[in-house]
A and B are shown apart, each in its own frame.
Chain A
């Protein structure tokens, strides 16, 4: 039987082989991720000064040598405390950077930040990212580059991408807070109808999702607590 995973499970959890017989994401999950990246980029640039203040206050009392870290370690930490401070939308961007090797961004980090020293200063790291995304071209193409990296990762982990014809699905949903969740569920529902599968499983990290999924009786939602 096929087990789908949602955005939260994909971004937050480790996907080791052998746990599930057949793991898959719908193309709708990738659409949601793209939308979230675009939103996060916009907010990051808009609230850069606030974000910088938060990051500065976190590192202020940490001795200089202990502040240094690999860009991925720093991105992971920043994601954690941005989430803690209520900036979950922007934290998503940092989770992504911590998790995936995104073409071009990785090279630029290597060429510039890691030219300074082998480990990065957090304040340099976020200033670098701000500048990187502010360069017009990068702002536009970054979401697609991130998606390419995710696709590559899914391929390596042998997680299938099931293409769903989602025209109308998103538009017909009212823009409530759980719109993205309902969209992902509708896409799985559509897959079930097309394939004739009697029931499917959905792995999520979102404790509210079982409620949202109640109308979809043949989608069994399993909530998993995990941090990648």
Chain B
């Protein structure tokens, strides 16, 4: 890249580049698609129908040598299929950098003015760390500065799209490049329609990523390579649609599940209704209780959204325990906690209400959700006023939203664990520091494309006008949202400025603390 990454580009330039890129993205032609090997696995009769459906979500993107297709650390919702040309995959952890690296939005990855190059970081887990994991979908093993080239008929980026992990490497065009950008709905449809395609993707996951993924789960951290290879060979990769039942309570337990991506609801049956106990996110596992105790499933598992699971059969699990007895302790602790939660929910069904509510409304995504206790809130707007004065006169949230019992959930950004708003940002204005909660929008970089505002399921991002004028005379709009008062010493202004102490920010990762706050 020719420009110096540390000098910010003016907004007009960013806007221009975005528009140019949009022009370079053309919907794929029917003929071209028909001829691709990608669709070879679909039966003849259904092919046209499938192609018709997925066409909306497939673009042809052209790159010149030197263009960055994907940047390490970005969130993406697309996989890329190389039609012609060559790319280089650059995996370059840079130790000793002083600034905190940023995870940025931007699948299209035009150059942006922000700092480059994040680092690989640590564990996902709950509730201890806030770290974001980077799993690699590339045929590498985290060896630094090794040059990897990919050519025609290769696919990359599908792991990030399916499992919503940040991209683990930077992909740079080496030759004039023609790519097919397959967005997430297209991917899913193809996986459902073509068993070959699914097998193809699964194979890549199994070879390249599964081991790393398992390693990053605390359970398998100390397991040695050969064992891990065996586990890899025996693991089954499953996908579930939203609402689909994965496991029913009372059925014999014969598997151990590891969540690859998506949210899974854990519930227990009482009478004729289901009570939500907790939920599982990527990196969590289920089934250890049943297997250890040799009991049927004590819960039901249901997919809340598109869920990808890794399933280990019972025998493999038993072997694991036999080979590594020290793992039992971790498992027992986890099981006991889960069973306790289950018991308390059965005794007090009302306490699962908020879990259900959180799942229904999507609050479980939130790392820091603003809640206002309406019992003590005098509707004085001090929180909004404080937010406004902390942000130059303009507030970043509205005191409107869902009401659950006596709690109001205003439209302040929930600082999601896997922010969907970050996926489509063309300039990388929306970022999150690795290891922190705040998802922030850098105003000079934002060109007002409204992608993030449209993507946020709760409309927590609002477009605001600025005095600057665009080329066509209309005022520039930028996206604005709560940034947890990053840079403010005392923390979020809304919490500090409430005279009644009604405003609290809770993380829905720790359900016990949530219960304590809500009651």
Partners in one complex: no
- Write the residues of chain A forming the contact surface with B, with a CB cutoff of 8 angstroms: none
